[in-house]
Structure formats: C-alpha cells, structure tokens
Amino acid sequence: METKKSASKNLERKRGLFFQIGLVASLSLALLAFQYTTPKLIPTVKNAKVYEIDDEIIPIIILKSEEPLPKPKPPKTITDQIKVVKTIAIAEPEPTKVAPIELPTEIIIAPMPPEVIEEAPLPMVELMPGLGDCSLLDNASRAKCTEDAIRMFIAENIRIPESVKDRGQGGKVFVSFVVNKNGNVDNVKILKGIDGAKAMDREVIRVVNSLPQFDPGEQSGRKASVIYTIPIDIRIN
C-alpha cells in the first residue's frame, strides 16, 4: 500500500526558508564569536592606598673621575742622528795693566805681626816648669821638686776661715791652674771643694794666685803652657 504525503506537511517546499534561517543563524554566531572578549579579573584589596605614578623621566647622571686617566705615551722613535758640535774659539782678553800706586813718602806700611796660635795647656811636656831653685835640676828631678814646692807654699800661706773652723770638719779641696808660656799662674779653678765651705774655696784660689813666677815649660824647643791639679787636705785640730 503506498503512503501518500499531505500537501500541508510537505517540507520540500520550505527547504529554501530553512536554508536562509540557518544562514542567518550562522552569521549571527560568527559575529558574536568575533565580539566576545574574556573578562579580566582585578583583585581588590581592602584599605589599600593608591599611589599615582609620576610620568616624569628620572635623569641618569654619569659621574666622571676627578683625575682623567693618563694618556698613553707615544712610542719613542729611535732615529740615528749624528750631532755635530762646533768648536768656537773664544779669544781671551788681554790683561789690563794696573798702574802702581805711589804712596806719599810720609806713609810707612808696617809689616803684619805673625799670627799667634793659642795652644791648649798640656799635663806633661818635655821640660816641666820649675819653681825657685828647682829650675836648676834635671827634668825628672825638676818636676818632682816643683810639685813639692807648690804644696809647701800653699801650706805655709793658707789661712783657714773662721766659718770653716766653727764647723769643726775639714776635707779635701782639688784645685787646678795653668802655668802659661810666660811662667805666670793663670785660670785657677776649684774642681771639688768642701760642702758648705765656699769661704775655703776662695782662700785656696787666693793662695794659688799668689804663687811666684815659674820658669816656663818647653815642648819641642818652644815655650808651652802646663796644667796642674793639686789636692789640698784641710785638717782642723
């Protein structure tokens, strides 16, 4: 049995309409696909401070060193050069003649005296000074005789001051002096005295300065100064 379709239910006639509806739907979906964007989620923080971004450009400063780097020295060029030295002869001037100065007859130029060189006194010379009759002895006996004569002269002429006697205590006084080239006593010094007895030192200096004139000593045939150091023992009875 053949099945017959109803004219109202025949879909072949509506095929063009369905095609147009499908085409419009496809175009709409394509447009929606191009315009669709994914939403961007921005997290929010409570009580967060928002700072504005300054668009000003921060300048970049390049610091240069105070002392510039030394420039490399150019390489030395070695050149073979021969220096020619010219010899220039210098003519020496002729010496000028100085006319002699004529002095008046009334002016007399005296010769300059010879320079006197002071020599330091010596503690020992070839010929020691002699005092009194000791000068008549030979050199060895003359030195011993002179020292004894000096001690005897001091012992006979010294006077102990009353201030030293009141102390009731004596001691030793060391005195030095020079017998110069003329035989006179010079440069008397107290090397060591009695503590607290300056009057005794002054008395010793007085007596030594009063020594008589010596026959001066000699060294290499010339008069020489001789230094003496004499200890004096002061005793108070």
| pLDDT (0 to 100) of residue 174 | 95
Model pTM score: 0.50
Per-residue pLDDT, 217:
93
The rounded average pLDDT for each run of 10 residues, N- to C-terminus, in the chain (237 residues) is: 57 74 83 72 57 53 58 64 57 65 51 55 91 88 92 92 84 94 94 89 94 94 93 85
Q: In terms of DSSP bridges, do strands 217-219 and 222-224 run parallel, antiparallel, or are they unpaired?
A: antiparallel
> CA nearest 209: which of 233, 225, 185?
185
149, 131 contact by CB (below 8 A)? yes
Q: What share of the chain is helix, strand, coil (3-state, %, to 5)?
A: 30, 15, 55
**Given this model, what pLDDT does residue 113 score?**
47
Q: What is the DSSP letter of 142?
A: H
Q: Which two tokens stand for residue 170?
A: 């004596």
Residue 132 DSSP class: G
How large is the C-alpha radius of gyration of the chain? 67
Burial (CB count within 10 angstroms: exposed 0-12, middle 13-18, buried 19+), residue 200: buried
What one-letter code names the amino acid at 145? C
Q: Exposure of 198 by Cβ count < 10 A (0-12 exposed, 13-18 middle, 19+ buried)?
A: middle
User: Going from the N-terminus, what domains does the chain have, and what CATH number goes with each?
Assistant: 132-234 (3.30.2420.10)
Structure confidence at residue 178 (pLDDT): 96
